[in-house]
Amino acid sequence: MQASNRGIIKVLFIGFLLIFSKGYAFQKDSLVINELDEVVLDGRLGQVISKQSKTVEVISAIDLQRSGYTNVVEALQQVGGLDIRRRGVGPTQADMNLRGGTFDQTLLLIDGIRLEDAQTGHHLSNFLLPIEMIERIEIIRGPAARIYGPNAFVGAINIVTKSSIQNKGMVALDYGSFGQNGARLTAGTSGDKASLIAHASFANSDGYRYNTDFKSRTVALKSVFDSNHPTEILGFFNDRKFGANGFYATPSATDQYEETQASLIAITHKLSGSNWSLTPRVYWRRGQDMYEYIRNRPEIYRNLHIAHKLGAAVDGSIDNALGGLGFGGEVASISIQSNNLGERNRRLANLFIEQRILIMNRRLDITPGVVVNYFSAVGTKLYPGLDLGWQINSNLRGYLNYGKTFRVPTFTDLHYSDRTTLGNENLLPETSNAIEVGLRKVTSNKQWSIAYFKRNSSNLIDYVKQDEEALFVAQNIADLTTEGIDLNYRYRFGSSTAPMLSLSYTYMTQNFGEEVFAFSRYTIDNDLKHHFTAQLSGQLFESTLGSLNVKWIERATGRTYTVIDATLNQSLSNFNLQLGAFNVLNQSYWETSFIPMPSRNLGLNLSYSL
């Protein structure tokens, strides 16, 4: 980090801290301390954060609002150890990589529904819901995510949706640099027996350089019937069209173009008794991807992929004399129709069971578990794991977890071919043995955690080559050992509107086995080494909110960059005006594939609450 940038960062942080402190001193609210530990995770053995024997982070709806961002992709940039690698402005396309993993190794869930992409993990972010519909985001790192089954190789991100909204709705207009414009409409109603949330939005941009324009359309619906034993219906659709200058192939491929669609329909029913719960669900997931190598010239090169997943799942828990039994299962049919990959299908079955054992006056918990997985192309495999937790005192907890995780090759890994890339039908599933040791402290206004992790991975899949002129070929490359530490700290200066300071830091090293390739698309190059984030947000004055977000990254190659974003939010009656400045330092940097990111830019949002 250059000395001048360090100076600017110090001035901004000190200035913001003084303003926040002064603004908070003039607040009329009494000093009411709210618990940071009030969230119960949406797992099979639901526990508050302080009782979790794993590294987990929760981003609440309030956190999302205070961040100043209008989409989930940008908000997730502030999560330590989560490497969001964007291709362009806003949420056009982004890869989500946890703890040095690839975009195919992080599992995305919505309300516990697994949304792995059989074509490619590049499109997972297409399923990120509008911020207005999100209750919280749960980020589970390391081997403890094994309970979610295949593809939770390095961790999982679970988005929990709202059941209702506080007011009748909200309408917003968005403007910004590079010809960005859009509108968002969210409406809701609730009663004793049912509730409904509906959302529709669009976003456009002329692009920040040649052929990076985009158009995005989103519709989402959440309905809940019967509050005692609720039945939830969730529907989501997103359509994107964007110039893909340098996104794939080579940086010189400046005329690429892509259109994607993401669809989800899910029905969930929740049953519970005094000591048990059962949540069955059925769902249909659809993804569509149309790619042109030369925009508007499909006769030169064009791909069209349509992927479906039709599944049924059940999660449950039973309190017993030992502690608690958690279990779950899923069956699914997965298929793809493609002019490049052909017509392919898979059958999937998962069974998971874990028993939490509480001893020593419930201060020590031991949770062994196992995942039994069947893939039609792979067969049946067992993946065991173990979680240990020690409640040192009412606020401090130590934990250790171990697990075997795995990832099945995508259809792209196996069958794709073009002028620069070749799949490999003989690929083996990726596997890993991972361990994590951590310590967490949670009090009424402060939370911190530290964790050491180590992952020994085998048969990792990457597109590699030895000669610059050769094709990138999908291979099970050499074994890889990843280890590092995660540090997280959150401090709230008072009530729920008081300033909040969040800091995170991740350090990682990766060591390969003997076989190393000269060129790699994903695994070998561009790895994180240091990742630091800081966020200061809260009430400046009675009706003014502000946020300052800092991200500093150093990659294994030695390349570093610092990105600072800041927002101001002014409320007047039912109106709200937000001004954002992004990449304040005007850094020249790229996150993936040598694609330059936008220069300094501004955003303006005007909203009205109904």
More confident residue, 520 or 278: 278
What is residue 31's predicted lDDT score, i.e. its pLDDT?
31
> Which pLDDT band, with edges at 50, 70 and 90, does 167 fall under?
confident
Q: Identify the pLDDT of residue 464.
A: 87
Domain that holds residue 536: 3-609
Please report the pLDDT score of residue 430 as a whole number. Answer: 93
Distance CA 587, CA 35 (A): 37
Asked if pLDDT for residue 354 goes beyond 50, the answer is yes
Place of tokens 């908070």: 24
Give first-to-last CA distance, the chain, whole Å: 45
What values do phi and psi take at 521, rounded to 5?
Answer: -85, -35
| pLDDT value at residue 496 | 63
| For residue 158, pLDDT beyond 80 | yes
Q: Residue 165's pLDDT band (boundaries 50, 70, 90)?
A: confident
Average pLDDT on 519-529 reads 71
- Give the residue from 335, 289, 266, 297 showing the smallest Cα distance to 112: 266
274-297 pLDDT per residue, tens:
999 999 999 999 999 999 999 999
Q: Residues 117, 327, 263, CA angle at the centre, nearest 5°?
A: 25
- Residue 10: pLDDT band with limits 50, 70, 90: low
DSSP string over 465-532? ESSTTSPEEEEE---EEEEEEEEEEEEE-SSTTS-EEEEEEEEEEEEE-S---SEESSSSSS-EEEEE
Alpha-carbon span 599 to 86, nearest angstrom: 14
Please state, for a pLDDT cut of 70, what percent of the chain lies above it. Answer: 90
Report the share of the chain in percent with pLDDT over 90. Answer: 70
The SS3 of residue 31 is coil
The residue count for the chain:
610
Name the least confident of 41-45, 181-185, 292-296, 525-529.
41-45
Q: Identify the CATH number of the domain in which residue 382 sits.
A: 2.40.170.20
pLDDT band at residue 250 under the 50/70/90 scheme: confident
* 3-state DSSP helix/strand/coil % of the chain, to nearest 5: 10, 55, 35
* Mean pLDDT over the full length of the chain: 89
- Tens-place pLDDT, residues 429-454: 999 999 999 999 999 889 999 999 99
Tell me the per-residue pLDDT of 358-408, one tens digit each, with 9 for 90 and over.
999 999 999 999 999 999 988 999 999 999 999 999 999 999 999 999 999
* Range picked from 93-107, 194-208, 540-554 for highest mean pLDDT: 194-208
- Rounded mean pLDDT, 222-226: 93
Q: How many domains does the chain have?
A: 1
What are the pLDDT digits (tens) for 17-59? 555 555 444 343 333 334 444 566 666 666 666 778 888 899 9
